[in-house]
Amino acid sequence: MTSRLPAVLDEAKKHQVKIDWVVLMGGINDILRYGTSVDEVWGGHEDLYEACKERGVRVLVLTLLEVGPAIPAGGRVPELMQRRAWLNNMIRGAPREHSNVAVLDGGKAFPFPTNASDPRSPLWSDRIHLSSAGYDKLGALVYGALKQHLEK
């Protein structure tokens, strides 16, 4: 992604397509499934923020959503949840260091359901990913966050 997004932005500019905002939601699979360090994921985020800034593009970044309790096996769940929390704290602080970044706290907007009868259950398709209804709700939240910035 750190090379793909700048290439997409450059291609858009070449075709005279103005991109004002990029929505960035990434890192949960990296830290939970692939064992990528928080520092490495954060470094990727910062590279993307800077690539966007160099091209005059603002970034709406989402914090990492909660995940189900059974991710992954091997007794490392508390450590991985701690890594998610650390990355979210870095993301929440991004606007202090990156003037082109705004944050949408997806982690707080989408708490993982406590059980199958929890009204939030239909928003999730598995322990990591939202369902189509969940992505619809997330899309509405993203729209609301962008609209606030566009109306300024």
Q: What digits encode the pLDDT tens for the residues 103-118?
A: 999 878 877 767 667 7
CB atoms within 10 A of CB 96: 8
What letter does residue 123 receive in the DSSP assignment? G
Helix, strand or coil for residue 22?
strand
Q: Is it the case that residue 148 has pLDDT exceeding 70?
A: yes
**Predicted pLDDT at 69:** 67
- How long is the chain? 152
Domain ranges across the chain: 4-150
Beta bridge mates, 24? 61
Listed as own residue / partner, the contacts of 4-9 with beta carbons closer than 8 Å and 24 or more positions apart are: 5/48, 5/51, 5/52, 6/51, 6/55, 9/51, 9/52, 9/55, 9/57
* 4-150: CATH number: 3.40.50.1110
Lay out the sheet containing 21-24: strands in order across. Answer: 21-24, 58-62, 101-104
Q: What is the pLDDT of residue 77?
A: 63
The predicted model gives 123-135 an average pLDDT of: 84
